[in-house]
Every structure is written in C-alpha cells, then in structure tokens.
Amino acid sequence: MTKKIVVVGSTNVDKVLNVDKYALPGETLAINTYQQSHGGGKGANQAIAAARSGAETTFITKLGNDEDAKMMIAGFKQDKMNVDHLITTQDHETGKAYITVDKTGQNSIYVYGGANMAMTPEDVEAHRDAIANADRIIAQLEIPIPAIIAAFKIAKANGVQTILNPAPARQLPEELLQLTDIITPNETESQTLTGIEVKDEVSMLDNAMIFFEKGIKMVIITVGDKGSFYATPTEHDFIPAFKVKAVDTTAAGDTFIGALASQLAIDNSNIKEAMLYANHASSLTVQVAGAQNSIPTEAEIRNVIKQDSISKEEIEKEKQQAAEFAAQQIPNHITLGLGSGTTSAYFVKAIQKRIVNEKLDIQCVATSLGTQKLAESLHMNMLDVNTIDEVDITVDGADSVDDKLNGIKGGGAALLFEKLVAKMSKKNIWIVDSTKYHKTLEGRQMPVEVIPFGGMGVFRYLRDNGYHPAFRFEDNGDILETDSGNYLINITIPKHADLKDLAKNLKNQTGVVEHGLFLNVCDELIIGGDQIKTIKREDLATK
C-alpha cells in the first residue's frame, strides 16, 4: 500500500567548483568550469528518494525567496512531491553548500544553513495537519532541534511513526530520542550517540541495545560498502551491500532511508524485504556521480531486484549440483541418513532416482518430520531411528561451514535430530552452495534449542554472557517450535570464540537441549558450482 510520508528537513543547493588544485591562502587560481548548481540537502534528498520509490511524499522545508528556491521547487514538482507545505522566508537565503572538487576527486565543503537554520517550532506547527495525516515522518539534523522535536511531538500525538536520521553526527537531547521510533545512523553517527565503536555485528547490536534502553523500537545502522544492519528487541540481521563499482557515494545514505521508508510496512513486519529494497536502491545511487540526479526510481530498483533473483536461482542451482554430485557417490547396500532443509531435499530426490533406476538396496533414516514426509511420498525404504544403532553415511546441508569443516546447522529447526543421526553415522557428507562456505564462523548466528519451561533462564544466561540471544519466531509471529516441541534461541558467535569451549558451555546449561555447533562432524564437504569443490577432513589433517 502506498505510504504517506512527511519529511521535515533541509534543502541545500550545492554550488560546485571544479578546480585543478586548491588555492593556497592568498593565491588566485583560474577555474575550469563555471560554478554549477545541483539540488542537495539531506531532507530534500530523502524526500526525493521516498517520492521516486512511490511514496505519497510531503516535504516541510524552509526556503528563501530566491532563484535557488525556484529551481528546487520545480524539481520537487517533477518528482510529484506535495509542495503545499513548503515554508518561504524573506529573511534568509535558501541553504547552500559550496563544494570545491579537485582533479583527484577530493572535495572540501562549506555549508551555509540559511533558511534551514531559521526553521522554528512555530513553522512546523503551522503544518500540523500534514504531519497528523501521515503514516510516518522522517527528520535529519540539518535544521534546528526544537523544530524536529515539535514535529515529532505532533507525530506522536497522532500515532504517526517517527524516523530520525541523526546526521550530521552530533549529541542529541534525551527528549528527541524518546520521541523517536526508528533511528537510522551510519557507523560514526551511531558511535557519537552511544559511545560504542561500530566494528562488527556484535558491536552493532551493543549500539542497538543503548537505543532500545531509550525506548527506540528499531535501529538501522548503515556501514557504507559493507552494508546495513537492523535490530529490534526480538530480531536482528546484517545485510551485506551489493558489490558494485561505486563512483560517487553522495546521497547513498539518503537514498537508503527514503527508499526504506517507502517500502516498510507500518507494523515493520517486512523489515528484511524493505532493507533489501533500500540496499538495492543505494547501490544504484553510488554508481552515478552527483546527488539528487543519482537517486533511482522504483522501476529502476525493481529491475535490479529482478536481476538479483536470477542470482538466487544460481544459488538454487549450486545446491542442486552439490546434491546430485553427492548422490552419485553413494554406494549400494547401505543405511543412509537424509538431512533436512532445501539442499537435502534436492539430495533426497536425486538419490531416490538412483535407487529406482539402478534398483539399489538402500534403507534410509530421516532427520526431520519434513524429510520423513518427503521420503515417504517418494516411496523410499524408511527405517525408524530407534530401531538401528548405526548409519553408514548421512548427507545433510549446513547453514555455514568454515575452512576446518566446523559448521552451524539447525537454521531449519531440525538440529536435535540432525545431530543424533550425525553422531550415529560412520561418515557425514555436507552439501552446500558457495555462499555457505566461510573462513570462520565468528559473527554468524546459530540456534540453541531449549526446553520451553526454563527457556528464559537460558536466555538470560546467553544475554549476560554477550551472545545477543533472540528467540526464533514463525512468520506469523508465533514462537517457533521444533519437531520435539522445544524453542530455538538464535545467538551470535562472538569474535575470537573458542568453539569447543562454547559448545561445552552451552551443553552445560540446564534447559539447553542441543545447539547448532557441529564440530568435527563433517567428513566431507561438497560445494556446488559449475566446478564442484570437495574438501575432505582427512586432507585437512595432513596440511
């Protein structure tokens, strides 16, 4: 549904001088091109980004009565923004940024706040209705704080969601933070407000915790070409930036915020999808020089999302390749463990074909109810786990595997049975696509299965020991239950964690049924691709 967004913030006109080199104090230099004027200002950029992504966007900004204002208003109209709530003053000029760019691309910027810095609470209050009728309001820090507070108070009184982009970096009054629902700093801005350096996912979550304490409900930290992170008190995730050739990152952050606000459901339920959309949007912005001209439209963004889904198809293909390769390796007359998850499902289908075509005598055990069902529907010869002592080979997927063949499993909520069957197996083969293979497991999430009664005790232990726990929920908001009726808590593997100690400590917690660390389990890893890659434990040992 189309979102009604109000942006209250700055408009700047960027005056760009292209120079060979900077003039020294007292020096006079000729310049190559005469000054060019481009639209800018964080408020205007974010409003344009939201409007180009299809949001019904109203911009509240203060302009001078001058040519620059006329140029900007014409642009706003072109982007189909609502310009009924622009504020004009006779006393100040439209904000400007004087930017010199030298031959190496280095720039220096002087900002004249002008009309932006003259925005008052009264200016904002005169547009109360526009704010009260919106779904959400976005503000940045290029206008005076009292004006933002006035806007957010109106929003709060009318059930309108407030998004604060705390840029440029500065300290903020508690009052403003308490009026904020979603905060969207970049790494430096976040550190300025929390005092905690942003260096990895774990520290991002530490930053988020500080904001949660102030009553903020969602934290989004953007970290340039690394990507972006979001956290609510119940879930968090890091979304890597797309690998693109960046030529000018101006307006990347603004595009991200405007695009996100245009897509995010009012109850924030589609946050991951909205983050991906914003990620795609800003990856387009950085590939074009300039600010407002580089902000993409919804159609352009949807187009790259479509291309990305083609690469998702690639990943599916890799899973299938790994699964089919593994199926070819399986000898006759064995008991075979069947793993869980999408990659394992490809394997189940591939081995079933061989069993039928080659009339193989293979009996199977499943590691989850889902796999059991699939195998039964394919009329495979299934054994009950409780009637056997040993499995010859188990083939299973994994969520992440490191270069020592340690892995995390259980993302599909079947970790207890997967581990039971793995322990009974003489040989464990894991099949993955190439995105699952990493140098280390640090910073990755892993599930811990806990009994429902007493789960909170484990949760507290995990929280107090820096594992950043979060219960897993179903898409419909119900707490997720495993096949054996337990709950799952996701934790983040800390930096420099000793995995053996971690596994031992988790097992020792009363209430923990099992955890997703599979150390020394995988004997052979098969990574899909046009060139299949296999890594065997016996080869690691001799290295």
Ligand X SMILES: Nc1ncnc2c1ncn2[C@@H]1O[C@H](COP(=O)(O)OP(=O)(O)OP(=O)(O)O)[C@@H](O)[C@H]1O
Which amino acids are annotated as binding site for K(+), given as ranges? 248, 250, 285, 288, 290, 294
Burial of 209 (0-12, 13-18, 19+ CB in 10 A): middle
CB of 432 to K ion, least distance (A): 36
**Residue list, annotated binding site:** 12-14, 41-45, 142, 186, 222-227, 248, 250, 253-254, 279, 285, 288, 290, 294
**How far apart are CB 294 and K ion at their closest, in Å?**
4
Q: Residue from 250, 343, 372, 394 that binds K ion (CB under 5 A)? A: 250
The reply to whether 254 belongs to the active site is: yes
CB 12 within 8 A of CB 250: no
Binding-residue total with K ion (CB under 5 A): 4
Report the residue number whose CB is nearest to ligand X.
253
Helix axes 67-78, 42-52, angle to 10 degrees: 20
Handedness of CA 465, 466, 467, 469 (dihedral sign): positive
Q: How many CA atoms within 13 Å lie on the side-chain side of 452?
A: 8
- DSSP annotation of 403: T
CA dihedral 242, 318, 403, 526 (to 10 degrees): 180
Q: Which is nearer to ligand X, 88 or 188 (CB)?
A: 188
102, 235, 248, 523: residue in contact with K ion (rule CB under 5 A): 248
Q: Is the peptide bond before 166 cis (omega within 30 degrees of 0)?
A: no
Choose among 133, 123, 126, 121: nearest CA to 159. 133
Of 254, 396, 399, 433, the active-site residue reads 254
Q: Does 368 bind K ion (CB under 5 A)?
A: no
Please, what is the minimum distance in Å from the beta carbon of residue 242 to ligand X? Answer: 5
Q: Which is nearer to ligand X, 226 or 404 (CB)?
A: 226
Q: How many helices (H) and strands (E) does the chain have?
A: 17, 27
Q: How far is CA 292 from CA 94, 147, 251, 263, 329, in A?
A: 17, 24, 7, 20, 56
Looking at the Cβ atoms of 249 and 434, the one nearer to ligand X is: 249
Residue nearest to K ion (CB): 294
Q: Which residues are annotated as a binding site for substrate?
A: 12-14, 41-45, 142, 254
C-alpha 424, offset from chain centre: 37
Q: Which is nearer to ligand X, 225 or 402 (CB)?
A: 225
Residue 363 C-beta: closest distance to ligand X, Å = 49
Site string for K ion, 259-298 (x = CB under 5 A): --------------------------x--------x----
Residue in this structure with the two tokens 């189940």, named with its chain if needed? 348
Residues at the contact surface with ligand X, assessed by CB under 6 A: 167, 186, 222-225, 227-228, 241-242, 244, 246, 249-254, 256, 279, 282-283, 286
Distances (CA, A) of 176 to 126, 140, 144: 20, 12, 12
The interface partner of residue 201, options being ligand X, K ion, none and the CB cut-off 5 to 8 Å by kind, is none
Q: Which residues are catalytic?
A: 254
Interface ranges with K ion (CB under 5 A): 248, 250, 285, 294
